Amino acid sequence: MRLKLVFSYDGSAFLGSASQPHLNSVQNALSAALAHLGIFSPVLFASRTDKGVHALRAVACVECGEHFKNLVYLKNQLNRFAHPFIHIKNIERVSENYAVRFDVRAREYRYIFHHGEFNPFLSRYVCFSERFDIKRANELLGHFVGEKDFKFFQKAGGSAKTSVRIMFFAQAYTHKNLSVFQFRANGFLRAQIRLSVASVMAVLRGELSEDKLKEQIEAKKCHYRFLAPANGLYLSRIIY
């Protein structure tokens, strides 16, 4: 039978989510946890994240024998081996036609800024920053919304056939001592969000003009190629 796993992970413990020869990846760790329970089928992920990027509700699927009838028990046993850096939130049976990657309609990410005093115990999970104009940030993020060619917002090495994506929304909001950038699109290019966040912050700091940001979003000219730190980025939701 085919199972869908919804899980979170601490990206600071891994060198990325996709399986790698050195084995220190989320996919390798999850496969090892499943192997302890006698499940050796390949684990397929709905989305990939880079080194240091976290996930709140990642999705994967795996084939296993029909004898795993109690999925709550399976989840609890799997967490014994997946903890402390991966936590399985839910397991459900899906149809044999379920395609964990290609059935996705949208992916959602959040980037988290912390405006308090630097704390080494939080430094892997937020980007420490001085406060900024959240209204102005929303104005700039609005330029990303719509169907656009984001060719100047991708890191080299990606395998995407096209750089055109539909951004459903890009917005900013505050919560207590945090500011959050939230993005939802039908898909993202490699490092697209980190490049987008960094370029918006460059405009807010006065290092880049809004006109140049718009030129880059409109795929006319590349002006800014710096990445926001990975530790503030979270894969927050995958929508089917």
- Return the domain boundaries, the chain: 2-94, 106-239
pTM score: 0.95
Q: How many CA atoms lie within 13 A of 2 on its CB side?
A: 10
Span 53-109, pLDDT tens digits: 999 999 999 999 888 889 999 999 999 999 999 999 999 999 999 999 999 999 999
CA distance 24 to 52: 12
Q: For the chain, where are the E strands, in sequence order?
A: 2-9, 44-45, 54-63, 86-94, 106-114, 127-128, 146-149, 164-175, 178-185, 233-239
Catalytic residue among 50, 103, 133, 149: 50
- Name the band, by pLDDT with cuts 50, 70 and 90, for residue 160: confident
R_g (Cα) of the chain, nearest Å: 19
Strand partners, 15: none
Residue 21 in this model has a pLDDT that exceeds 90: no
Catalytic residue list contains 50 = yes
Give the model's confidence band at 22: pLDDT under 50 very low, under 70 low, under 90 confident, else very high. Answer: confident
Count of CB atoms situated within 10 Å of the CB of 37: 14
What DSSP string runs through 110-152? EEEEE-SS--TTTTTTSEE-----HHHHHHHHGGG-EEEE-TT
**Average pLDDT over all residues of the chain:** 96
Query: 111 labelled as ligand-binding?
Result: no
Query: Tell me: the pLDDT tens digits for 163-222?
Result: 999 999 999 999 999 999 999 999 999 999 999 999 999 999 999 999 999 999 999 999
Domains 2-94 and 106-239 equal at CATH topology level: yes
Asked whether the beta carbons of 61 and 3 are under 8 A apart, the reply is: yes
Q: Chain centroid to CA 28: how far?
A: 18
Residue 20 predicted with pLDDT over 90: no
* CATH 3.30.70.660 for the 106-239 domain, yes or no: yes
The pLDDT of residue 161 is above 70? yes
Provide the CB-side half-sphere exposure for 72 (13 A, CA): 0
Confidence grade of residue 23 (pLDDT, cut at 50, 70, 90): confident
**In CATH, what class is 2-94?**
alpha beta
What does the pLDDT read at residue 188?
97
- Which residues, in sequence order, are CB contacts of 228 under 8 Å at separation 6+? 111, 127, 193, 194, 195, 197, 198, 201
pLDDT tens-place string over residues 109-135: 999 999 999 999 999 999 999 999 999
Q: How many CB atoms lie within 10 A of CB 23?
A: 12
- Res. 224 pLDDT band, cuts 50 70 90: very high
Residue pair 47/107 in contact (Cβ under 8 Å)? The answer is yes
Local confidence band at 156 (pLDDT 50, 70, 90 cut-offs): confident
Q: For tokens 């991966």, what's the residue?
A: 86
